[in-house]
Amino acid sequence: MKPYKVLLLCPPPVEVIEPWVDAPPYARNTLAFLAGYLRQFPGFKIKIIEAKFEQLSFDETLKRAVAFQPDLVGITAYTQEIKPAAYVAGLIKKALPQAVTVIGGVHITAIPRETLFEFPTFDYGVAGEGEITFAELCSALKSGEAIAEIKGLVYRNKQEVFLNPQRERLLDQDSLPIPAWDLMPKADIYFIHTERGCPFNCVFCLNHNGRVARKRSIDLVIEEMEMLIRDYNPSRIFFGDELFSVDMKRTAMLLDKMIERGIHKKITWDAQTHVKYVNFDLLSKMRAANVFRIDMGVETGDDNRLREMGKGTNAPMIAKAFSEAKRAGVKAGGLFIFGHPNETVESIRNTIRFAVKINPDLPMFGTMTPYPGTEVARLAAEGKAGYTGLSFDWDDYKMRLGSGLTYQHLTKRKLNLLMLEAYIKIYLFNHRYLDFAKFVWSYRFGAIQLLKKIFYKEDVLHERMKKPLDYDAVINSRYHIKAINMVQSREYFSEIQKAEMNRTKKEMPELLLSQISIEAE
């Protein structure tokens, strides 16, 4: 019997504006997880095109897709990728009218029905954790079975869009096989997960994997790392967990196992974590396991913004975490955001002063982005907390150089000038002149983009991006997102998070207990 061909795809960017996001040094492991789960079932032939990592053009992506002749095309997209995803879906449908297109990822998880209304080039959507829903959809379409009972599915019926009941997240992450890395392009850095989820409720984050950290077993993580090292010889592994050390005891056990297996002699690694979930002992063990750098979200140095942010931190806690990292000999990156609710020039200057004080090895500043489903998006949509408006063009939603918000007390140009000031002061006030030169060279493309925004006042990204001539025509959107949709998205996703927490309390309460931080002595 002829196999059912499934193409999994990460779309190319319209233009490389933020190189660390638009031209990443690693491939999207979401595609590898989907492929690894689907290929357990017979009758499928799977291909992956990681167009963003491989820096393919839209034409090159289309040629590869057409050469495969897929029956179904599954595309993953964050908010800033959703329009390129819709464009590439439209190109494929024009060339292959019989192909079914499916969109998954964070954006449709936040606003599922609205996404299918807005983008007619998508036939189906997968909202939430996608492995099981996507596999069930592929099986149903292959065999001609009904789809009405598939949890997490978004689909069309004539002029209406339907959203099936939410798919419960997998509390047991070991039920997922190791991602299908053999179907992905070879890389020098691999992005892997040891767990999914984060216990915090930050105002700027959707937290699409939920507030429960759902862990893979240490043995499975070690197996994946050793397979990657043996088969692909990378120089580094990036742990993509939202909060790598959320279970500090487990993290210490993982690091011990890495050292025991000699992994620390073969690769370096980096991770992102939270200042509340590190202490000197754990940081020292990270160094022994050959950590390259850990990044910690500071977000702001203003006391009022810290209290309102939902991250559970304060200035002394943050300062101590960075001090302990220095004492342990571990490089620490600091992540900062300008444009918090009720932000002012003075509160941003407080953040800059605090950033200079803690002096992270790699400072990273960005402007606030009102992602659907977040509290910031709700506030902006309602014109509250110092926000006067937000963009409904998703091409404006870049991670660090975006232009999705307007402010009562700040101009976009002022924000960008303050960002430039912050970088200069951190390095020069701490007499890190050589580090500053290296930073400017390493991030020169992003620096050029920032300077353009400052001196040429290019504040609206979607108006200056170098789009294909047929970009809007192929996307063919006739439905426009409204402020009320952003408010409803926040309410919708908050209910999902609450339900998941209640379910976890009943089924696996130990997961909640293990994510209570151990206070450093």
Question: Mean pLDDT, to the nearest integer, of 394-401?
Answer: 84
pLDDT above 50: residue 259: yes
Q: What is the pLDDT of residue 520?
A: 40
Binned at pLDDT 50, 70 and 90, residue 399 comes out as confident
Binned at pLDDT 50, 70 and 90, residue 439 comes out as confident
Binned at pLDDT 50, 70 and 90, residue 14 comes out as very high
Residue corresponding to tokens 């209304």: 117
Which whole-number Å values give the CA distances from 486 to 4, 78, 200, 266, 345, in the listed order?
A: 37, 16, 21, 46, 27
Distance CA 347, CA 351 (A): 6
Domains 4-170 and 188-390+404-459 share a fold: no
> For the chain, what percent of residues have pLDDT higher than 70?
96
Q: What is the pTM of this model?
A: 0.94
CA atoms within 13 A on the CB side of 199: 20
Distance CA 287, CA 519 (A): 20
> For the chain, what percent of residues have pLDDT higher than 90?
86
Tally of CB atoms within 10 A around 174: 12
Question: Mean pLDDT, to the nearest integer, of 49-78?
Answer: 97
State CA 207 to chain mean position distance. 9
CA atoms within 13 A on the CB side of 129: 20
Structure tokens at 266: 């073969």
Least confident of 51-60, 92-101, 120-129, 510-519: 510-519
Q: What is the pLDDT of residue 492?
A: 95
Binned at pLDDT 50, 70 and 90, residue 457 comes out as low
Binned at pLDDT 50, 70 and 90, residue 161 comes out as very high
Question: Mean pLDDT, to the nearest integer, of 260-271?
Answer: 98
Q: Are strands 195-196 and 214-215 parallel, antiparallel or unpaired?
A: antiparallel
Tell me if residue 461 falls in helix, strand or coil. helix
Q: What is the pLDDT of residue 219?
A: 97
Which CATH architecture group holds 4-170?
Answer: 3-Layer(aba) Sandwich (3.40)
Distance CA 379, CA 210 (A): 21
Least confident of 32-46, 95-109, 455-469: 455-469
Binned at pLDDT 50, 70 and 90, residue 1 comes out as confident
pLDDT above 80: residue 447: no
Least confident of 99-113, 187-201, 361-375, 464-478: 464-478
Structural domain boundaries of the chain? 4-170, 188-390+404-459
pLDDT above 50: residue 83: yes
pLDDT above 70: residue 395: yes
* Mean per-residue pLDDT of the chain: 93
CB of 214 closer than 8 Å to CB of 171: yes
First to last CA, the chain: 64
Q: What is the pLDDT of residue 184?
A: 97
521 or 320: which leads in pLDDT: 320
Question: Mean pLDDT, to the nearest integer, of 403-427?
Answer: 91
Q: What is the pLDDT of residue 257?
A: 98
Tell me if residue 9 falls in helix, strand or coil. strand
Q: DSSP of 125-162, one letter per residue?
A: EE-SS-HHHHHHHHHHHHHT---TT-TTEEEEETTEEE
Q: What is the pLDDT of residue 521?
A: 37
> 188-390+404-459: what fold?
TIM Barrel (3.20.20)
Structure tokens at 499: 């339900």
Question: Mean pLDDT, to the nearest integer, of 369-382?
Answer: 96
Print burial letters for 57-93: b (CB count within 10 Å at least 16), e (below 16): ebeebbebbeebebbbbbbbbbbbbbbbbbbbbbbbb
pLDDT digits (tens, 9 = 90+) for 465-489: 789 999 999 999 989 899 999 999 9
Question: Mean pLDDT, to the nearest integer, of 18-25?
Answer: 86
Question: Mean pLDDT, to the nearest integer, of 271-297?
Answer: 97
Q: What is the pLDDT of residue 267?
A: 97
Q: What is the pLDDT of residue 459?
A: 58
Query: Which one-letter DSSP state was computed for residue 208?
Result: T
Question: Mean pLDDT, to the nearest integer, of 213-225?
Answer: 97
Of 139, 58, 44, nearest to 94 by C-alpha is 58
